[in-house]
Amino acid sequence: MRLADGSEPGPVYFDVGSGTHMPSSTQWHVYDGRFGRPRATVLRGSCSCGWRGMAEYPLDWTTLPHDKPLYEAAIDLSGPIADHDAHLSVIRAAAVQLPAELIDLFSMKATTTDNRPPPDLQDRVRRLG
Ligand SMILES: [Zn+2]
């Protein structure tokens, strides 16, 4: 997501009146220029790790509605989504497989219903250390 000046906008805050909590969003469709929000000029893939896609997908504001949310417009998101999927594939390919013993321990922890580890879990963790 980029603005006309080439910058990447920060979160959009929603004024919901009084209160201590002010909701915000960085979803692509909030940058529609309505209600004083920034207006995006291009879309691109992005990830919470900081990665940004090289390809940019321009938004044609001569055809987009100025009075409706962007998610209601028929915007083709396949380019940014495909770029993000490709980024995730690279991350998966570079990931190190956890040892089977560690996967077993995580699985045991995930299946416990209370917050206490299974009886033999602490012994197994000690053996890994
Ligand atoms: Zn990432």
Q: Are residues 90 and 103 in the same domain?
A: no
Q: How far is the CA of 34 from the centre of ligand 1 (A)?
A: 29
pLDDT tier at 44 (50, 70, 90 boundaries)? very high
CA of 29 to the centre of ligand 1 (A): 20
| Residue 129: pLDDT over 70 | no
The number of domains in the chain is 2
Dist. CA 84 → ligand 1 center (Å)? 8
Residues, the chain: 129
- Structural domain range at position 103: 97-129
Residue 60 sits in the same domain as residue 34: yes
**What pLDDT is recorded for position 108?**
75
Q: Based on the fold, state whether residues 54 and 108 are members of the same structural domain.
A: no
pLDDT digits (tens, 9 = 90+) for 73-125: 989 999 999 999 999 999 999 998 888 888 888 777 666 666 666 666 667 76
Nearest to 125, CA basis, from 28, 113, 108, 82: 108
Return the pLDDT at 121: 66
- Same domain assignment for residues 108 and 46: no
What contacts 76, CB < 8 A, 6 or more positions away? 57
Distance 92 CA to ligand 1 centre (A): 10
Q: Compute, in angstroms, the gap from residue 19 CA to the centroid of ligand 1.
A: 34
CA of residue 116 to ligand 1 center, whole Å: 33
| 109, 69: one domain | no
**Rounded average pLDDT over 63-67:** 91
CA 89 to centroid of ligand 1, rounded, Å: 10
Neighbours of 46 (CB within 10 A): 18
Name which of 91, 58, 94 is nearest 76 in CA terms: 58
Percentage above 70 pLDDT, the chain: 86
Whether residue 13 is found in the same domain as residue 75: yes
Distance from residue 88's CA to the centre of ligand 1 (Å): 6
Report pTM: 0.71
Give me 9's structure tokens. 């906008």
Q: Which residue's entry shows tokens 């990931």? A: 95
**Are residue 74 and residue 125 in the same domain, yes or no?**
no
Residues 88 and 109 in one domain: no
Average pLDDT for 30-53: 94
